[in-house]
Amino acid sequence: MSSISTHVLDTVTGKPAPGIPVRLDKWLPGTDGSEQWQSIARGATDPDGRCHHLAAEAPEGLYRLRFDVHSYFTHRGRTSIYLDITIQFQCNGEAHYHLPLLLSDNSYTTYRGS
């Protein structure tokens, strides 16, 4: 099984971004034969900008992390073109997945960390 974590760095301030609501979803078959996203974990970034343990045991599959950045910017009196940011990724079920988000008011970058 894989584990999934993230952290957010505000590249404008050069500091961690605390208090950002984060949701982890997994693509799952529905009971009627359809497929759908299902929320499997929720959290918020801590004072160090981290969500350490969104999923301790994540099986292989398609996942997405959704960050509510609008609330973060609004709370700080800043504006952004982004209301939320979604990172969709494939998990092999065998390794740790740490997906950092580098955030500014009008851009963002993500990568697979360690």
CA angle, corner 19, sides to 70 and 37, nearest 5? 65
Is 33 a member of any domain? Answer: yes
Edge-first strand order for the sheet with 61-67 is 35-44, 21-29, 61-67, 85-91
Return the CATH number at 50.
2.60.40.180
Is 70 a member of any domain? Answer: yes
pLDDT of residue 53: 81
| Digit-coded pLDDT (tens) for 8-60 | 999 999 999 999 999 999 999 777 777 899 999 999 999 999 998 899 999 99
Is 107 a member of any domain? Answer: no
Cβ-based neighbours of 90, under 8 Å, separated by 6 or more: 61, 62, 63
pLDDT of residue 32: 79
The amino acid at 114: S
Is 93 a member of any domain? Answer: yes
More confident residue, 80 or 114: 80
The whole domain housing 44 covers: 2-98
Looking at the 3D structure of the chain, how many domains does it have?
1
pLDDT of residue 75: 95
